[in-house]
Structure 1
């Protein structure tokens, strides 16, 4: 969607007495919740999706940094790449109070606004010479060598080196207390924009989409199996649909204030990342599956 075509996504109501939305429960790796409430007052926030513009660069970079943590990846440059392809991708921001749409002053409207999330895709094949993409490819291959099976290592390496079919990096990041329902219109819009770009012979004809997701693992204890808790609810279903995947702990890379682990009761919650390889041709069906999953169908 273009920057002057804004789409209302959903309304979030935050109850300060709800432990799940408390500001003391930061997202993994020190991510702060949106300032959605004051004292005992419940505040309603309307979100909208729009195309990213230059003033969004810092907000997008911060979201990427929460995903990649201390990895040697230039998130500022990656954010600029996402903004430069203004025909694909959306950011989540707070709706303007007056509800008015500006046809000429979008940059000024968002200059001081917070970016609550981004859903987009980058062509890792076409942009392989960009510094941040080179760094990302190295990061993924190194992590796979250390944590994936030999079969998955080979699959990932062949995928990234395949010059016949483009690979996309699917980015689906948002603040933790934004409802999962918001992901559906964002992913639907992304699919429409990819299709439109492909119709114009642009380089969005992906064979595979790579998605790096965040999760916490409640480690096995006293005979109970480990439990995974995904930061974005839809990632659990996408994980089940992946062609292949591998995971790794990022406890040592988290902010020192978080000490790597969370405690839930007497159980340790360890932060992980999981790389998913998704069939790009199945994205429309995956989005439908996500919608049904979130709606409990």
Structure 2
């Protein structure tokens, strides 16, 4: 696949922010306090394309929002994602004012990375520093927060080399980009994985791990707690997981913030949840996500 290969995405609507809003108004997940209000919408064209070297910093920043203060080398992980130039996509804004040659692989625009969808092989790449750090991070969190059964299952997936490989599914994007965009990105990823397997490349996964972000609106005045997922599709995926476990990351947020923020008078606490998904079910999950986000 050409390094500049574009993958068509539909025109998306995103919430428009005030031009004078500063980064200090956002939390560690890049969520602006107005993220859940009815702000004015603006039409923006996005494209999915293969990650290239100029995307390293943008991908790394998205990974840092996911992992927060975890000891994981996000720059090195971004390099691994880019090195898989046959698998994965970044979301970029289409610039109609500039023409890009479709025949010159070196003519790739450098701009903001709005999202990354890819997969890393945690089995084949376990000796890579960032992958080794990720494996340790997940196992440590499981020891502290998972049930005994979930810990045993995760340990088995990480340690048993005779089973199909373990993949780490990455599905990160800016908060205001709607869930509809994930469907063509996942469909592209599935096709790229299938193509890689025909070439005997190491993308034959048995299980896909996905780390998702959500906020918990704490129970108050007789109202039950409510979980609000940063990516809407993650709620469905959480329901379909073979096993999962979660933990609060309030203490890992920037020192300038408590890790909690308010929606009205309700406290919103940031969490992470690890999902284990059956890789064979990935095609069906994509169809289910399409129906879910279309309220079908």
Given the two structures, how large is their TM-score scaled by the length of structure 1?
0.90
Q: Secondary structure at the match of 2:144?
A: helix
Deviation, structure 1 residue 259: 2.0
Compared CA separation, residues 15 and 127, structure 1 to 2 (3 A): closer
Compared CA separation, residues 23 and 284, structure 1 to 2 (3 A): farther
In structure 2, the residue matched to 1:267 is 266
User: In structure 2, how many angstroms separate the alpha carbons of the residues matched to 1:58 and 1:266?
Assistant: 36
Deviation, structure 1 residue 265: 1.2
Compared CA separation, residues 54 and 107, structure 1 to 2 (3 A): farther
Q: Which structure 2 segments of 5+ residues have no match?
A: 33-38
Deviation, structure 1 residue 256: 2.7
In structure 2, the residue matched to 1:253 is 252
User: In structure 1, how many angstroms separate the alpha carbons of the residues matched to 2:21 and 2:187?
Assistant: 30
Pick the aligned partner of 2:121 from 115, 119, 123: 123
Please state if 1:178 is matched with 2:196: no
Kindly report which structure 2 residues correspond to 1:56-75, keeping only aligned pairs within 5 A, or say none: 56-75=55-74
In structure 1, the residue matched to 2:138 is 140
Compared CA separation, residues 224 and 42, structure 1 to 2 (3 A): closer
In structure 2, the residue matched to 1:88 is 87
In structure 2, the residue matched to 1:204 is 203
Deviations 1:231-277 (A, max 9, x none): 00000000000000000000001113332001111110000000000
Kept in 2: contact 1:30–1:258 (CA 8 A): no
The runs of at least 4 consecutive aligned structure 1 residues that moved more than 3 Å come to: 12-18, 21-28, 40-43, 98-101, 103-109
Deviation, structure 1 residue 14: 4.6
Deviation, structure 1 residue 98: 3.7
User: In structure 2, how many angstroms separate the alpha carbons of the residues matched to 1:107 and 1:270?
Assistant: 44
In structure 1, the residue matched to 2:4 is 4
Kept in 2: contact 1:218–1:269 (CA 8 A): yes
Compared CA separation, residues 198 and 30, structure 1 to 2 (3 A): closer
Kept in 1: contact 2:4–2:108 (CA 8 A): no
Deviation, structure 1 residue 9: 1.2
Q: Secondary structure at the match of 1:177?
A: coil
User: In structure 1, how many angstroms separate the alpha carbons of the residues matched to 2:9 and 2:75?
Assistant: 26
Aligned length: 288
